[in-house]
Chain A
Amino acid sequence: MTSEPIVHITGLTKRYPGSSRLALNNLDLSIQPGEIFGYLGPNGAGKTTTIRLMLNFIRPSAGSIRVLGLDANRHSTRVRQQVGNLPGELNLWDHLTGRHTLRYLSGLRPGCDLRYAYELAEQLDLDLDIRCGSYSTGNKRKLGIIQAMMHRPPLLILDEPTTGLDPLARQTFQQMLAAARSEGRTVFLSSHILSEVQAVCDRVAIIRGGELQTVMPMARLSDAIERHVTIYSPDSLTVDQWASLDGVAHAQAGPGFIRLRVTGSLDSVVKFAARHRVDNLQVETSGLEELFMTFYGRNGASNNRKKE
């Protein structure tokens, strides 16, 4: 992509008062218009700090952020007008209903069409006439998503958006993101859940300990992700045959099953399994920590540090 970045971060550093450690260290990041950009990292990595700096909730110790070409610090109100934000730790006014909450917040967004907000609520199957204090975590999250999207902003900033959502709502949310992308909107999606980022993002940045580890296309990350494949079969399965297959990093046999650690495509494993009788086949994707092990080893030192 060659267009001007919608978010351009250079040398961004944040040290909280009284803390000896940098919450964010010299972060450089560019997000292109129309992409869904994943921001992946464990809890405490600096994801929320980055978002709070983008919205001018906190001030940078060094560096700069431009959002839609505007300085996020000097023109923060103009930036926030163009942004929809879903905070990671979402708190609502317990005494207000969902409808009152949306009315309240839409009053602070000139030109916001509440009918669209109500459409989104229908899509997410959210009853707006219940007090927020009585909402479940998932329903609070749904309301958070609606208030972030209701004014159709060019840039959506979503911090852990699917926390507490049921699988059906997750699916609807992913469709909403796909619709936003098709309209040319940009999404900055911060998460510590690998599968969430994997499902929707075009590119992903990985952050750890306040430092950017890598930025890469999602497809490349998917290739790098290890999967644990367990094949249950009454046939006798020998480790050597499976271990020699493409992508298999490790094989371990047990009574009636074989467990494989596979990187990249599962093609050779599936084709070889087809030669046997298979009672069951389980595929588990590795978690974020295992991904870090793959990329950076146990001490966090980069084995494959590369920015694209």
Chain B
Amino acid sequence: MTDTLTERQPPSLALPHVSVIQPGVIFRRALIDNLAGIVAWGVGYSALIVSVVVLYPILEENNTLFSVLSGLGLLDIFTANYPIDPSALTTFAGYLAFEALGWGPVIFSAYLIPQTVGAVLGEEQRGTLDLLLSTPITRWQLITEKTLAIVASLVLILSIMLATLLVSTRLSNQVDLETWQALAGVWHILPISLVVIAVTLLLSVMFYNPRMVGGLAALFIIISYFVRSLSDMAQLPLLDILRRFSVFHYFSSISAMIDGVNWRADIGLMLLALVIFGLALLRFQRRDLGL
């Protein structure tokens, strides 16, 4: 039997075949639906950045910041695994990385995990995925556009943060920050966040329970962060090996803002995200929907 519609169907009824649906329909819808969240997160994180810009000159006076961080042993801990002079942490760039941007991947997980779980598994659980997949859109196109919308949302939030950082540091005469440092600090949040999105997406297409998926994705972040932090503090050989499996090993805002972007680490993280995304695509192609 040949697979031609014209053999089966009167020409007046058969709809013309279109191989690919016009791209961007689902992407646009998802992005519009995310707008309020993008603004809220962008403004919220920007407020944190502004507070650092305002507070830093006060803390810097009389070397208070150096004394406090040094007294707590934090200077050595946070720079132990990176080729950075511990005193760099007390510069504005170092302090901004330590207080605000360094928490980016952890803080953004609270945004990215629910967004990613909701994008496919949420639609599936609500039953709206049935309507989308009743149209001729392919599964890979649907999941790709949904994922790209989340990535675009994150990029927009990071752009708001970058704009705030550049404007606020220019307005303040008491802090020094080069444009490349601002760019490097904000950019560096993106690759590791892509891994968070990809891991959550893979979990979303493997399991059917959104809460469980959200929990597992959060656990991935917590364990990765815990292993890296423990290794920073304890300096044990076993932890030194384990930390290489933590995505946070390849993330250091301080290093990015002081010494520049570590492209090897960032490209590695992005490739990892791409591979995990590919696995999610393959799994979604085979998934029984709506169980």
Question: Which of A's residues lie within 8 Å of B, judged by CB?
Answer: 4, 6, 16-17, 33, 52, 55, 57-59, 66, 68-71, 75, 77-78, 80-85, 87, 89-93, 95, 104-105, 107-111, 147-148, 151-154, 183-185
Residues of chain A within 8 A (CB-CB) of B12 are: 184
- In this assembly, does B44 line the interface, its C-beta being within 8 Å of a C-beta of chain A? no
Asked whether, in the complex, the Cβ of A69 is within 8 Å of the Cβ of B3, the reply is yes
B41 to chain A, nearest CB (A): 19
Q: CA–CA, A110 to B24, complex, Å?
A: 13
Asked whether, in the complex, the Cβ of A111 is within 8 Å of the Cβ of B13, the reply is no
Could you list 11 examples of A-B contacts with CB < 8 Å?
Answer: A57-B288, A58-B288, A69-B7, A82-B5, A82-B15, A87-B131, A91-B128, A95-B33, A109-B135, A147-B131, A154-B9
Asked whether, in the complex, the Cβ of B29 is within 8 Å of the Cβ of A104, the reply is yes
B288 to chain A, nearest CB (A): 4
Residue of B nearest to A67 (CB): B8
Asked whether, in the complex, the Cβ of A81 is within 8 Å of the Cβ of B18, the reply is yes
A-B complex: 6 closest residue pairs judged by Cβ atoms: A91-B127, A69-B8, A108-B135, A81-B136, A85-B134, A107-B25
Q: Which of A17, A55, A110 contacts B134 (CB 8 A)?
A: A55
- In this assembly, does B244 line the interface, its C-beta being within 8 Å of a C-beta of chain A? no
Asked whether, in the complex, the Cβ of A57 is within 8 Å of the Cβ of B25, the reply is no
Q: Which of A33, A59, A68, A80 contacts B136 (CB 8 A)?
A: A80
Asked whether, in the complex, the Cβ of A111 is within 8 Å of the Cβ of B16, the reply is yes
Q: Which of B8, B17, B127 contacts A87 (CB 8 A)?
A: B127
Question: Which of B's residues lie within 8 Å of A, judged by CB?
Answer: 1-5, 7-10, 12-18, 21-22, 25-26, 29, 33, 126-128, 130-138, 286, 288-291
B161 to chain A, nearest CB (A): 27
Residues of chain A within 8 A (CB-CB) of B136 are: 77-78, 80-81, 108-110
Q: CA–CA, A153 to B4, complex, Å?
A: 16
Residues of chain A within 8 A (CB-CB) of B1 are: 66, 69
Q: Which of B5, B26, B128, B289 contacts A57 (CB 8 A)?
A: B289
Asked whether, in the complex, the Cβ of A81 is within 8 Å of the Cβ of B15, the reply is yes
A248 to chain B, nearest CB (A): 46
Interface contacts (Cβ under 8 Å), in number, total 121
Asked whether, in the complex, the Cβ of A154 is within 8 Å of the Cβ of B131, the reply is no
Asked whether, in the complex, the Cβ of B289 is within 8 Å of the Cβ of A91, the reply is no
Asked whether, in the complex, the Cβ of B291 is within 8 Å of the Cβ of A16, the reply is yes
Supposing A55-B133, A108-B21, A154-B15 touch, asked if A89 and B127 sit within 8 A by C-beta, the answer is yes
Q: Which of B3, B10, B135 contacts A70 (CB 8 A)?
A: B3
Supposing A70-B5, A78-B17, A95-B33 touch, asked if A52 and B135 sit within 8 A by C-beta, the answer is no
A159 to chain B, nearest CB (A): 10
Q: Which of A33, A91, A153 contacts B15 (CB 8 A)?
A: A153
Q: CA–CA, A58 to B289, complex, Å?
A: 6
Residues of chain A within 8 A (CB-CB) of B131 are: 87, 90-92, 105, 147
A128 to chain B, nearest CB (A): 16
Residue of B nearest to A74 (CB): B3
Asked whether, in the complex, the Cβ of B130 is within 8 Å of the Cβ of A68, the reply is no
Residues of chain A within 8 A (CB-CB) of B288 are: 16-17, 57-59
Asked whether, in the complex, the Cβ of B13 is within 8 Å of the Cβ of A71, the reply is no
Residues of chain A within 8 A (CB-CB) of B130 are: 57, 85, 87, 91
A184 to chain B, nearest CB (A): 6
Q: CA–CA, A155 to B4, complex, Å?
A: 16
Q: CA–CA, A160 to B111, complex, Å?
A: 38
Residue of B nearest to A151 (CB): B15
Residues of chain B within 8 A (CB-CB) of A85 are: 130, 134
Q: CA–CA, A274 to B137, complex, Å?
A: 61
Residue of A nearest to B18 (CB): A110
Asked whether, in the complex, the Cβ of A71 is within 8 Å of the Cβ of B26, the reply is no
B3 to chain A, nearest CB (A): 5
Residues of chain A within 8 A (CB-CB) of B289 are: 52, 57-58
Residues of chain A within 8 A (CB-CB) of B138 are: 77
Residues of chain A within 8 A (CB-CB) of B132 are: 105, 108
